[in-house]
Amino acid sequence: MSHSSNAVPLTARAGSPLKGRIRVPGDKSISHRSIMFSTLAIGRSTVEGILESEDVLNTIGAMRAVGARVERPADGRWSIEGIGLGSLLEPAGVIDFGNAGTGVRLTMGIVGSHPIATTFVGDASLSRRPMGRVLDPLRMMGAEVVARSGDRLPLSIRGPKTATPLTYRVPVPSAQVKSAVLLAGLNAPGVTTVIEPVATRDHTEKMLKGFGANLSVELNDAGERVIRLAGRPELKPQDVIVPGDPSSAAFPVVAALITPGSEIVVENVLLNEHRTGLFKTLQEMGADLSIVNIRETGGEELGDIVVRHSRLKGVTVPAERAPSMIDEYPVLAIAAAFAEGETVMQGLEELRVKESDRLAAVARGLEANGVTCREGESTLSVTGGGRFGGGTVVTHLDHRIAMSFLVLGLAAEKPVTVDDGAVIATSFPGFRDLMASLGAGIDEAEATNA
């Protein structure tokens, strides 16, 4: 599935200050996992506040294809009748994951330890992304893979009769890889161990425990996280409540910070410590950003983010912080354009294999709008200040590139156009309407180079 044939160019222009209280849609990571883990439990789970975006709908389609009954009653609380570990059905057709990296990689883990054959396809963006990072450990557990060279989609996996539990050190800081190995380990007899030298988002660990898995996390002498999972647990259905996605909250938050006179509150945002690096960085840059009304739901902290227009200054963002804000660098680069001095972002190698090569896409987008920046192999430096805007940004089927540059347009001197706003549906349906409710001006543009 590709958006390129029905691209919708959008233009954002500066206007009134942003004001109001909003809620962003449910967290994408937790939404995917809630459907998947409910499928692996026997009985009926419910999920409230799920993100109803294209990525998550693709995961719902995939879980239906392996046998789950997934329904959306009128009250919006999804219901999933799980069939249980070891009982997955072989999908009748190919599974199309569209743009969804998390959906496809975690599902590969699930089916990779079941004796069924599954074929995965995706859009042009997903078909460019590396899958070997997930397929390598699955092969070690006994899965057979037939893939295009370079382990790209389309590809097929047939899991073994009995998967071999594995001890695996994740070679790249990736919650998707960690999760795929753990999910495969669920249907392997014995203990699967994942060693994570660099900590990444821990929703899989927390939620699997919540569903009844026997999972422990310890730090070893080298300070690495060691996650041990006992295979073949009986997972129990749960009622999950999904908090607001901090990666989506990032867009209105930065928009308010850079638009003079703004003051907004984003309510109900997930505050998991592996997801809040952007908020910390913005505070270091001098943002008037506070988190209030902190509470807990389902083992996760959430709160309301209060943010006002602020004078920002450039900072250096250390590489160690990258996993806790990996999806937020594009919009941080926009904040950096409005900061005094230089902002240096380090340790960005993983940005090159996201929905687009985000490092290059951000740098080209900034340049197209007159912002001074320097792209290194794994670094980005942005020099703030100046007069910018007026450019058209190529989104490369990347929702976060689209939203980030629309945010730029809300405070730039000249309007900013993105070549395709349809891709935003991947993670943030209703983005335009929600931003409009705060006073933002984002409209359909004349197609230029789409």
227: region left, alpha or beta (phi > 0 left; psi from -120 to 50 alpha): beta
Residues in binding contact with ligand S3P, number by CB under 6 A: 10
Are residues 396 and 354 in contact, defined by beta-carbon separation less than 8 angstroms? no
Stretch that binds ligand S3P, among 169-177, 339-347, 401-409, 435-443 (CB under 6 A): 169-177
Give residues 22-41 in contact with ligand S3P (rule: CB under 6 A): 29
Question: Under the criterion CB under 6 A, does residue 99 sit at the interface with ligand S3P?
Answer: no
Taking CB under 6 A as the rule, does residue 175 contact ligand S3P?
A: yes
Contact pick of 11, 38, 45, 102 for ligand S3P (by CB under 6 A): 102
| Coil, helix or strand at residue 376 | coil
Residues in 336-365 that interact with ligand S3P by CB under 6 A: 350
Question: Binding pattern to ligand S3P, positions 58-97, x when CB under 6 A?
Answer: ----------------------------------------
**Token digits of residue 127:** 């078909």
Instruction: Give Dmax (Cα) for the chain.
Output: 62
SS3 397: coil
Q: Which residue, 133 or 158, has its beta carbon nearer to ligand S3P? A: 133
Q: Is residue 397 left, alpha or beta, with left meaning phi > 0 and alpha meaning psi from -120 to 50? A: left
Nearer to ligand S3P, 47 or 445 (CB): 47
- CB 204 → ligand S3P: shortest distance, Å? 7
Tell me which amino acid residue 79 is: S
Has 327 been annotated as catalytic?
yes
310 marked ligand binding residue: no
Nearer to ligand S3P, 56 or 65 (CB): 56
Q: Give the strand order in the sheet containing 239-241.
A: 69-71, 78-83, 42-48, 239-241
Site map (CB under 6 A) of ligand S3P, residues 299-338, x = contact: ---------------------------xx-----------
Hey, what are 190's tokens? Answer: 């014995």
- CA–CA dist 374, 237 (Å, integer): 49
Helices (H), 338-416: 358-368, 399-411
What residues numbered 184-223 form the site for ligand S3P, per CB under 6 A? Answer: 201
Measuring CA to CA, how many Å separate 305 from each of 27, 107, 245, 299?
15, 33, 12, 19
- Per CB under 6 A, the list member of 53, 99, 113, 176 interacting with ligand S3P is 176
* 53: phi then psi, degrees, rounded to nearest 5: -110, 170
337/332 Cα distance (integer angstroms) = 9
282 binds ligand S3P (CB under 6 A): no
Dist CA 232 CA 158 (whole Å): 19
Q: Residue positions in the annotated binding site for 3-phosphoshikimate?
A: 28-29, 33, 174, 176, 327, 354
Q: Residue positions in the annotated binding site for phosphoenolpyruvate?
A: 28, 101, 129, 176, 358, 400
Task: Give the residues lining the site for ligand S3P (CB under 6 A).
Answer: 29, 102, 174-176, 179, 201, 326-327, 350
Which residues are known to be catalytic?
327
